[in-house]
Structure 1
């Protein structure tokens, strides 16, 4: 009941794929560490360089059980590539496949169900300019209306249309997602989005008059955010520190 298969792919895949597996497994562990996970649900995916294949978590594993070797390789249809003792949640890959299908720059997609993101996504006005964290997200944010469980393939086109060229999305009644050219970028974008939602809910719950960021400052911060933080530099600078944190928490993600 408590034992899991323990594949060892370290010497069975390319160096590039192995490093991607380490980074993605670390990202799963960090999501768990920050309490952003949802039992065995939600997903993080990453494209293997030079291919149309993707890595995603095995269905039934908690995020703190994910390792570099037990990540599952799939194609855009969710078909498992290579031998694996694990399966995936096909419904869980619907959102990821929709994004990977049309966004060549989306090498990593993170989709979560945190309470704060659901709360903000479900408000009529959505994310508001109440904190510096919201600036980063608002500069590239879209919304997608709830259509039920993501099992209908026809929803993919509508999600793609709503996403457009943005890097952050709030899924109404559902959660949120971020994407990026690297796992580090997608993670940092998720960190900013989550913090923005947490702070908005805290401010609103205080029952006091709220001071939003004035529009001229908002417009200028959009420019700064696009140049300084929401580009690849933000993820590249912070991600090595996050990898070190994941290693100190539990190095088994590298197995």
Structure 2
């Protein structure tokens, strides 16, 4: 049976920092109600090792993940750190594809939130009917559901449908976001999740009001002016880490 306990691996300072940041992110997802039993994945590239990335151990809940028990695997899913934990094929097949082909995809997040799955399962997907949805107008890729993502041959279609975008709604499936940093990917996921939650709530009340294209363009032009310095999502993620630390600091181990 999988266990949350693990011996601290002998790794570089850069890898340990990446491990702690990723472990904190898993705990944040759980705190925000985004965990899905033992499923779903957040991955990051190991900063100082080409072709290696960190992923959650299959069998552990997000609330059990810490820096030590994350699994380091290569792009083909082979374990590189002697971890006793298995890795979910549905995780590394999809994530490895993007890590392999997209140099800017340092961090990839995939979730099955209720709101994300609901919006990905309706005709038209996300609509510009609220503040957060306007952030993503024209910037979301879509990929039709082909069943659980465990077949390598689906990769070409995923890449083709993604194109130059770094946010995707997997139809009938959920959210997929990528970032050049983990905090950037986190803030994308957070904002997309909020957009989906609000769209679901709005749909229950009546006919939604669509924001005009011209206003969406102004919004996207100016939204960066509301960001805190330090890089996309940096201050937001740091605030969430402080909240997690009030609950449990074991993710640091």
Query: If the TM-score is normalised by the length of the shorter chain, which range does it land in?
Result: over 0.9
The yes-or-no answer on 1:199 pairing with 2:216 is no
CA contact (8 A) 1:181 1:232 kept: no
Aligned equivalent of 1:121: 120
CA contact (8 A) 2:4 2:60 kept: no
Unaligned runs of 5+ in 2: none
1:91 deviates by: 2.1
User: In 2, Cα distance between the equivalents of 1:82 and 1:209?
Assistant: 53
**Matched position secondary structure for 1:95:** helix
**Matched position secondary structure for 2:175:** strand
Aligned equivalent of 1:224: 222
User: In 1, Cα distance between the equivalents of 2:57 and 2:190?
Assistant: 23
Q: In the TM superposition, what whole-angstrom CA distance separates every residue of 1:165-191 from its partner, at most 9, and x where no partner exists?
A: 212110001001111011111111000
CA contact (8 A) 1:106 1:180 kept: yes
**Matched position secondary structure for 1:178:** strand
Aligned equivalent of 2:36: 38
Unaligned runs of 5+ in 1: none
User: In 2, Cα distance between the equivalents of 1:168 and 1:228?
Assistant: 21
CA contact (8 A) 1:185 1:232 kept: no
Q: In the TM superposition, what whole-angstrom CA distance separates every residue of 1:107-127 from its partner, at most 9, and x where no partner exists?
A: 100000111111111111110
CA contact (8 A) 2:4 2:65 kept: no
* Alignment root-mean-square deviation, CA: 1.9
C-alpha distance 124-209 of structure 1, shift in aligned 2 (>3 A): closer
Aligned equivalent of 1:58: 57
**Matched position secondary structure for 2:128:** coil
User: In 2, Cα distance between the equivalents of 1:3 and 1:125?
Assistant: 42
The yes-or-no answer on 1:238 pairing with 2:221 is no
> Number of matched residues?
252
User: In 2, Cα distance between the equivalents of 1:44 and 1:232?
Assistant: 22
CA contact (8 A) 2:140 2:165 kept: yes
1:94 deviates by: 1.4
TM-score, with normalisation over the residues of structure 2? 0.94
Question: 1:75-224 to 2 correspondence within 5 Å?
Answer: 75-206=74-205, 208-224=206-222
User: In 2, Cα distance between the equivalents of 1:237 and 1:139?
Assistant: 26
1:93 deviates by: 1.3
TM-score, with normalisation over the residues of structure 1? 0.93
Aligned equivalent of 1:23: 21
User: In 1, Cα distance between the equivalents of 2:186 and 2:74?
Assistant: 22
